[in-house]
Amino acid sequence: MSELNNQNEEVISNERFDTYPASKRKDRLFVIDRMRCKGCSICVSVCPYDALFMSKKKSTNGFIYPIENGACKACKKCLYACPDFALSIHKVEEVNK
Ligand code: SF4
Ligand code: SF4
């Protein structure tokens, strides 16, 4: 499933992952694994760019999860802070291989 976020960027979702464009050059993808996320919101609090907010609806695991708002700069701070390894950043060309 694909939809546009409030920055008119394409967000691609399936039953497990939400994939957002990340960084100024749009050469990175920011991926949220909803199956791993436990809804602690640590990622939201550590992001220096206020790029994340928590969902209103729950994942199939019963937890709220982060949504990226288009401001992600791919700094990776939230990746290192997430206790459940639910966040990752990938180069676009790696994902498209
Ligand atoms: S990678 Fe950096 S800018 Fe992007 S959401 Fe995580 S903390 Fe925020
Ligand atoms: S820090 Fe990890 S587990 Fe906590 S809300 Fe963010 S993605 Fe989910």
Domain that holds residue 56: 2-95
- Residue 28 near residue 74, CB atoms below 8 Å: yes
Question: Global pTM?
Answer: 0.90
Confidence at residue 4, expressed as pLDDT on a 0 to 100 scale: 72
- List pocket residues of ligand 1, CB cut-off 6 Å: 22, 30, 47, 49, 51-52, 68, 72-78
Q: Taking a C-beta distance cutoff of 8 angstroms, is the pair 14, 20 a contact? A: no
Listed as ranges, residues in the chain with pLDDT below 70 are 1, 6-7, 96-97
Distance 15 CA to ligand 1 centre (A): 22
Asked whether the beta carbons of 77 and 48 are under 8 A apart, the reply is yes
Structure tokens at 75: 């700094």
Count how many domains the chain has. Answer: 1
Q: What is the pLDDT of residues 35-63, one digit of tens each?
A: 999 999 999 999 999 999 999 999 999 99
Residue 9: both structure tokens together: 């960027």
For residue 46, the domain's CATH number is 3.30.70.20
- Report the C-alpha gap between 56 and 78 in whole angstroms: 20
